[in-house]
Amino acid sequence: MLTGLMMDRPLSIPDVIEYAADVHPDRRVVSSAVEGGIHSYTYAQARDRISQLAHGLGKLGVQPGDRVATLAWNGYRHLELYYAISGIGAVCHTINPRLFPDQIAWIVNHAQDGILFFDLTFLPLVKALRPRLPKGLRLVLMTDRAHCPDDCDALIYEELLSGHPTRFDWPTLPENTASSLCYTSGTTGDPKGALYSHRSSLMHAFSIILGAPQSFGRTQRILPVVPLFHVNAWGLPFSAPLSGTELVFPGPRLDGASLFDLMQSEGVTAAWGVPTVWAGLIEEMRKRGKKPDALHSLLIGGSAVAPAMIRALETEFGITVLHGWGMTEMSPVGTVTRPDPSQDIEGRIATSIPQGKRIFGIDMKIVDDAGVRQPHDGVAFGELLVRGPAVISGYYNDDAATAKAFDDEGWFRTGDVAKISAAGDLVIVDRTKDLIKSGGEWISSIELENSASSHPSVTIAAAIAVPHPKWDERPLVAVVLKPGAMVTQSEILDHMAKTMAKWQLPDEIAFVEAIPMTATGKVSKKDLREQLKSHFVG
Ligand code: AMP
């Protein structure tokens, strides 16, 4: 082998903000501030404050490799923390505030965080958690002195920056240096940490710009509803500055009306988030009889997007849907749909129902129960495994979880059951543990949910398996009806019979007020099973 004669300059996160300040200095970052009102500044001004923060962190004694935690919404200060912490070689540990307090305390202790930065909103949470947090943990409230309550003894964010130079001499770090840490909110067992690096973050950022080019560029303003506190807001804090895309952060207000108003007043062109958020926006757009004027596309992922949602967005509002699939362990994007501009609406809808094609850097294989590779023919299905430069190679300080997560060839087991077409389109059939096995035949809970939620009276549907004496398991589908809708079980079953075989149809539809959700906005099947326990007997 002959080694190339090229410079070995490492990929580095602070280079991204320095690049944006240099090449896209006037492009803006707009935030709906936690204190109220709108904050707006340019990438050049962001770089200045990030440099000041890096000096401030140094003064606090933060060392390379230290874990610095955040409990914060999507806003400019959180973005600054991303760059300053990783830029000095420390690890930005984002924590999901929607987790149970016990889990948050467990995570802070497992990560051995030295400092916790938190938004004003989370002051009561931090106070309640304090006795369970590590003794030496230092607290920084992400606001200015004027907004700090008298009884709060935390350091003040703005004072940490104040008076420091607006340039920082970033250290040259090996590109595999850890940059950020995010724990999966697994529904079973303790949370597991994905420890990202400068290299993996940049490789992922490049790949999502290539995979979803509609969202990026100097004419675009993107709104990440997907939180900075979970999986790096799907990479947007890096890919937006890289591509000169303006960022619009929604802060704590994520209801349909607040999102609509922010999108309208800030001219948002694209937004990324999980399906539950878009259900709220669709309702609001229906109320107002229009979409936010500049909004042209939504990237939806994190759980399967019901065809009914894609159809509503495309046909009622002319909004293009990009459907994405991924995992915390994959930084997180793995696949995204590629609608073709020449397609008509029906063509675009059909393209967006599967989970899409792999982004550059992700390799995918499906295997049967014996680990034998299955063809990519759109028929054979099995467990999906992945590998790539933005996929974890192990869990943070968790040998037991790491030992189970990879096959003999080093591929990561996703725990999803999938098929892949000859054209490379991924279809997620289910989570391994959510697949329903009835009389020896598999039934996909996602197919059941898509079918039930396409009924015009249904807002959301979720399917689980219930034990059955003859068939081992049978499906049970829980539905939430639209306000004021009147519909019977047999009407929903008749509707589902148009797209599913008779033996796949549920024996019962459970009408419920609400479907339980996880901290990341996905249906919590574990809680749903608990909620519907009474349907299991008899
Ligand atoms: P998390 O690591 O919390 O982001 O969860 C990852 C899991 O969410 C995946 O393994 C899938 O089971 C599920 N998921 C994410 N995106 C999709 C999607 N577009 N369709 C179906 N399931 C999805």
Q: Shortest CA distance to 453 belongs to which of 408, 509, 410? A: 509
Mutation pick for ligand 1 pocket among 330, 427, 428 (CB with most ligand atoms within 8 Å): 428
CA 119/CA 514 separation, integer angstroms: 29
Q: Quick check: 374 and 406 in contact, CB under 8 A?
A: no
Per-residue pLDDT, 519 = 87
CA 533/CA 467 separation, integer angstroms: 10
Q: Quick check: 458 and 489 in contact, CB under 8 A?
A: no
- What is the SS3 assignment for 67? strand
Q: Tell me the residue type at 102.
A: D
What's the pTM value of the predicted model, to 2 decimals?
0.93
CA 382/CA 33 separation, integer angstroms: 45
Q: Shortest CA distance to 432 belongs to which of 309, 323, 327? A: 327
- Ligand 1 atom at minimal distance to the Cα of residue 518: 3
Per-residue pLDDT, 533 = 84
Chunk the chain into consecutive blocks of 10 residues (it has 538) and report each block's average pLDDT, rounded to whole numbers: 96 98 98 97 98 98 98 98 98 95 94 98 96 95 96 96 98 98 78 97 98 98 97 97 98 97 98 94 97 98 94 96 97 96 91 96 96 97 97 97 96 97 96 88 92 94 91 93 93 94 92 92 90 77
Query: By alpha-carbon position, which residue is closest to atom 5 of ligand 1?
Result: 327
Q: Quick check: 346 and 370 in contact, CB under 8 A?
A: no
CA 374/CA 220 separation, integer angstroms: 40
Measure Cα distances from 468 to 50, 344, 475, 493 in Å: 58, 44, 10, 19
Reading the block at residue 458, the tokens are 């249904």
Q: Quick check: 53 and 161 in contact, CB under 8 A?
A: yes
Per-residue pLDDT, 186 = 61
CA 4/CA 74 separation, integer angstroms: 41
Per-residue pLDDT, 485 = 92
- Ligand 1 atom at minimal distance to the Cα of residue 231: 4
Q: Tell me the residue type at 500.
A: M
Q: Shortest CA distance to 284 belongs to which of 269, 262, 311? A: 262
What is the CB < 6 Å shell around ligand 1?
184, 301-304, 323-328, 332, 355, 414-416, 428, 431, 520
Q: Which domains does the chain have, with CATH numbers?
A: 13-253 (3.40.50.12780), 358-431 (2.30.38.10), 436-535 (3.30.300.30)
Per-residue pLDDT, 360 = 98
Reading the block at residue 361, the tokens are 């850097």
Query: By alpha-carbon position, which residue is closest to atom 4 of ligand 1?
Result: 327
User: How many Cβ atoms sit within 10 Å of the Cβ of residue 466?
Assistant: 19
520 CA → ligand 1 middle, Å? 10
Say whether the peptide bond before residue 339 is cis (omega within 30 degrees of 0): no
Q: Shortest CA distance to 71 belongs to which of 144, 157, 149, 170? A: 157
Per-residue pLDDT, 319 = 97
Per-residue pLDDT, 471 = 87
- Ligand 1 atom at minimal distance to the Cα of residue 520: 3
According to DSSP, the residues that pair with 141 across neighbouring strands are 118, 156
Reading the block at residue 300, the tokens are 């939806």
Reading the block at residue 512, the tokens are 């419920």
CA 388/CA 11 separation, integer angstroms: 16
Query: By alpha-carbon position, which residue is closest to atom 7 of ligand 1?
Result: 327
Q: Shortest CA distance to 464 belongs to which of 480, 446, 491, 441? A: 446
Place of tokens 């080019």: 213
CA 238/CA 19 separation, integer angstroms: 11
